[in-house]
């Protein structure tokens, strides 16, 4: 047996695996809870010392890293868990993490919680956009802090330490270039392209000009009682409503006749325009 073979034969094939680190609006007032199956024990991968593997690789003229990388170079946690009395405060640290990462980190704490974060229009960023649950249980919003509407958000919520139910929760995050919104607020909500623009009842040409001043455009139209798709409509048609579809783009409902609004709808528009510049 050569010297290198004796070195490799002496390697401990199963060293100790690293341990786990310690770890919008109201999410749900009441999220359902049923007992979940007993927690499965995590089976940690067998890790061979990097130095020994590199030594063996040099003999073959190849340098490589093991498939199971050490914890020191693993991606940072997507969630932060902080204990607060009988609860855990969970803060989303990476709004762009894959759902599997969230699920894995929840499972490591014994929680059957699935978290999905998808692109949303600026007024929805950091907000809950949907969810499912089993039986009644308590999961509450702790905080949603955004630098600006549609900007970077820090989302946190509170989970009882003895939570045994299951839940699926969806949040909205800021869209990256090329992404379409999977959730959207009103086109005139704070942070949206038509904020402070009383666009309902304006002509298509007027709304198109207002959007152009803000670097936006009309992506498509919906017309008629069945909301049929149309790529273009006459510029003197009237805009009934609009919704953001992607950064810089809105979908517009238009009609040839002047828009008639109910007193309730008119009052809602007035509230949205409160605080906006006059004229």
Q: Summarize pLDDT for 209-240 with one digit per residue, the tens.
A: 999 999 999 999 999 999 999 999 999 999 99
Residue that wins the pLDDT comparison between 82 and 165: 82
Mean pLDDT of 150-156: 66
Mean pLDDT of 67-93: 79
Residue that wins the pLDDT comparison between 40 and 135: 135
Percent of the chain at pLDDT above 70? Answer: 67
Per-residue pLDDT band at 71 (split at 50, 70, 90):
low
Give the rounded distance of the alpha carbon of 78 from its chain centre.
12
pLDDT at 144: 62
Residue that wins the pLDDT comparison between 222 and 156: 222
Residue that wins the pLDDT comparison between 122 and 134: 122
Range name among 110-114, 225-229, 267-271 with the lowest pLDDT average: 267-271
pLDDT at 213: 97
Report if pTM > 0.85. no
Q: CA 95, CA 92: separation in Å to the nearest integer?
A: 6
pLDDT at 46: 35
């Amino acid at each position: 047996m050569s010297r290198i073979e004796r070195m490799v034969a002496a390697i401990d094939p199963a060293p100790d695996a690293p341990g786990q680190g310690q770890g919008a609006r109201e999410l749900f007032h009441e999220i359902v809870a049923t007992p979940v199956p007993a927690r499965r024990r995590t089976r940690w991968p067998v890790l061979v010392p990097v130095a020994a593997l590199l030594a063996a690789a040099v003999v073959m003229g190849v340098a490589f890293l093991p498939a199971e990388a050490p914890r020191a170079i693993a991606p940072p946690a997507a969630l932060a868990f902080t204990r607060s009395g009988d609860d855990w405060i969970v803060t989303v640290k990476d709004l762009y993490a894959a759902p599997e990462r969230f699920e894995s980190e929840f499972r490591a704490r014994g929680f059957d919680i699935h978290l999905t974060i998808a692109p949303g229009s600026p007024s929805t960023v950091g907000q809950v956009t949907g969810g499912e649950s089993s039986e009644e249980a308590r999961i509450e919003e702790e905080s949603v802090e955004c630098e600006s509407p549609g900007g970077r958000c820090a989302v946190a919520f509170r989970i009882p330490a003895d939570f045994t139910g299951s839940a699926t929760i969806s949040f909205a995050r800021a869209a990256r270039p090329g992404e379409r919104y999977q959730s959207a607020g009103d086109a005139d909500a704070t942070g949206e392209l038509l904020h402070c623009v009383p666009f309902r009842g304006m002509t298509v040409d007027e709304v198109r000009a207002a959007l152009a001043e803000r670097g936006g455009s009309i992506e498509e139209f919906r017309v008629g009682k069945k909301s049929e798709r149309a790529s273009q409509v006459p510029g003197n048609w009237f805009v009934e409503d609009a919704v953001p579809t992607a950064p810089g783009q809105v979908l517009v409902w238009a009609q040839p006749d002047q828009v008639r609004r109910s007193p309730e709808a008119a009052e809602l528009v007035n509230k949205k325009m409160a605080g906006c510049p006059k004229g």
